[in-house]
């Protein structure tokens, strides 16, 4: 763990000058190495910042506490979202990557806190790939940012995230002004090759991920 950065994490610098930094956010029970192979699969040459969640649930790392399946501790979620946002900002300063070109890629619990970042601290992310996400919370008031690109990729047969929940999250993100793309997979809660293929194709079309010149703008 680098000095001043309070999340256990892995950082891998970009090997391409035009590539973004991917903030990889694991699901419950994962850790900072869980999604490392996802980085190059989504964007070859991209930098990677992959933190470990700081909450333990029966020994399994998570990014925030929950009271029951699908019932989140909202006070803890807000605090942990702020902590993660501050970590990303400090990491950009320490490692020297462009803080205006960070795209989250999260699965399940990691996707939920990525959605929370978009809603509570949108300046930290230029976009996000949300695999199997649900509504983390509904801010009041809702901050709108029209320059954020988001892919929501959920499963049609997911027993944890219903179709109605997917629609609620999509509506909330659109209300927040993001440029949203929704993909529904023939899958359950598991991450599939089709998820990755579609996310890679989507990411290649996002301005912030494809060119430093087109992406340079205030966050």
Which one is catalytic: 108, 116, 126, 153? 108
Q: Is 108 a catalytic site residue?
A: yes
Q: How far apart are CA 95 and CA 49, in angstroms?
A: 10
Joined tokens for residue 71: 């019932």
Number of H helices, E strands in the chain: 7, 11
For the range 3-8, what are the long-range contacts, defined as Cβ-Cβ under 8 Å and sequence gap of 24 or more? 3/94, 4/90, 4/94, 5/87, 5/90, 5/91, 5/94, 6/83, 6/87, 7/51, 7/52, 7/54, 7/84, 7/87, 8/32, 8/51, 8/52
Residue owning tokens 């927040």: 176
Which one is catalytic: 31, 83, 189, 210? 189
Which one is catalytic: 9, 50, 149, 158? 158
Q: Is 9 a catalytic site residue?
A: no
How do beta strands 60-62 and 55-57 pair? Answer: antiparallel
Contact criterion met (CB below 8 Å) for 134 and 43: no
Q: Is 162 a catalytic site residue?
A: no
Contact criterion met (CB below 8 Å) for 57 and 28: yes
Q: Which residues belong to the active site?
A: 108, 158, 189
């Amino acid at each position: 763990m680098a000095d001043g950065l309070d999340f256990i994490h892995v950082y891998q610098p970009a090997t391409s000058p035009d590539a973004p930094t991917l903030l990889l956010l694991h699901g419950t029970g994962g850790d900072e190495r869980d999604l490392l192979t996802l980085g190059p699969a989504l964007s070859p040459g991209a930098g990677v910042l992959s933190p470990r969640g700081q909450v333990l649930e029966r020994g399994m790392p998570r990014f925030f506490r929950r009271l029951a399946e699908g019932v989140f501790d909202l006070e803890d979620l807000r605090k942990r979202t702020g902590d993660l946002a501050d970590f990303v900002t400090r990491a950009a300063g320490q490692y020297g990557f462009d803080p205006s070109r960070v795209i989250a890629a999260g699965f399940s619990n990691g996707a939920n806190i990525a959605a929370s970042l978009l809603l509570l601290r949108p300046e930290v992310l230029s976009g996000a790939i949300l695999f199997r996400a649900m509504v983390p919370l509904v801010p009041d008031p809702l901050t709108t940012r029209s320059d954020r690109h988001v892919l929501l990729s959920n499963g049609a047969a997911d027993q944890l995230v219903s179709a109605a929940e997917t629609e609620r999250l999509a509506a909330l993100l659109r209300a927040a002004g993001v440029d949203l793309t929704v993909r529904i997979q023939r899958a359950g809660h598991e991450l599939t090759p089709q998820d990755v293929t579609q996310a890679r194709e989507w990411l290649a079309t996002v301005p912030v991920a494809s060119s430093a010149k087109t992406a340079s703008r205030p966050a």
